[in-house]
Amino acid sequence: MMTSASQHQGLQTAQPTRDRLGLDGIGFLLGAAHRTRRRLWEAQLADLGLSAPQAAILRLVTAEPGCGIRELARRIGTDPMNARRIVESLLESGLCESRPDPNDARRRPLYPTLRGRDLAQAVADRARRDEQNLVRALGEGCYDSLVAGLRTLIAYQQNPQGAS
């Protein structure tokens, strides 16, 4: 059986290895947090028949009708080809529709259908409850600090030269 001192020494020798391998770095921790959050969110969406990316795009199209695929891709942080595949699945499911743009024949803005708006509202309600649970679990101060820190990180990573 390990004593308290030997347990502490084991942690001390393990810590430099973790640090050296970047296991305590923000990139590693963000990745682990993202994978866990995505798995939990996908489980909450399962009975609605939506994946997390489909839910994100449906919510954006509902909030901002008339968005194009490039804008949606930029907003969810993916490439236009991936966004197109997600949009096509929403179109096939009857949750969105595309209409011709009278000012640009190449552009096909997206709009939610009535069913899509209802489903987007159900997703938004679940997201709101999920966020409330996170606030309770983390505490309001920690939650607010984490959100502010993540927004700062995103802004920095979008424009690292502009950081002071």
Summarised one tens digit per residue, pLDDT across range 87-135 is 999 999 999 999 988 888 788 899 999 999 999 999 999 999 999 999 9
Is 98 part of a structural domain of the chain? yes
pLDDT at res. 15: 61
User: The whole model's pTM is what?
Assistant: 0.78
User: Which pLDDT tens digit goes with each residue over 25-51?
Assistant: 888 999 999 999 999 999 999 999 999
Give how many domains the chain has, as a whole number: 1
CATH number, domain of 77, equals 1.10.10.10
Average pLDDT for 16-22? 70
Specify the amino acid at residue 43: A
Is 2 part of a structural domain of the chain? no
Is 13 part of a structural domain of the chain? no
Structure tokens at 98: 């595309």
Domain that holds residue 59: 25-162
Is 69 part of a structural domain of the chain? yes
95 - beta bridge partners?
Answer: none
pLDDT at res. 7: 46
Q: How confident is the model at residue 16 (pLDDT cuts 50, 70, 90)?
A: low
Tell me the C-alpha distance between 129 and 134, whole Å. Answer: 9
Using DSSP, how many helices (H) and how many strands (E) does the chain show? Answer: 7, 2
- With b for 16 or more beta-carbon neighbours within 10 A and e for fewer, the 47-56 pattern comes to eeebbbbbbb
Is 90 part of a structural domain of the chain? yes
Q: Identify whether the C-beta of residue 90 lies closer than 8 Å to the C-beta of residue 98.
A: no
CA atoms within 13 A on the CB side of 66: 5
Strand runs (DSSP E) across the chain, as ranges? 96-98, 110-112
Is 94 part of a structural domain of the chain? yes
Tell me the C-alpha distance between 97 and 113, whole Å. Answer: 7
Structure tokens at 36: 């866990």
Is 115 part of a structural domain of the chain? yes
Is 5 part of a structural domain of the chain? no
User: Which pLDDT tens digit goes with each residue over 147-159?
Assistant: 999 999 988 988 8
Rg over CA atoms, the chain: 21
CA atoms within 13 A on the CB side of 88: 6
Residue 117's alpha-carbon distances to 17, 18, 74, 112, 122, in angstroms, are 50, 46, 21, 6, 9
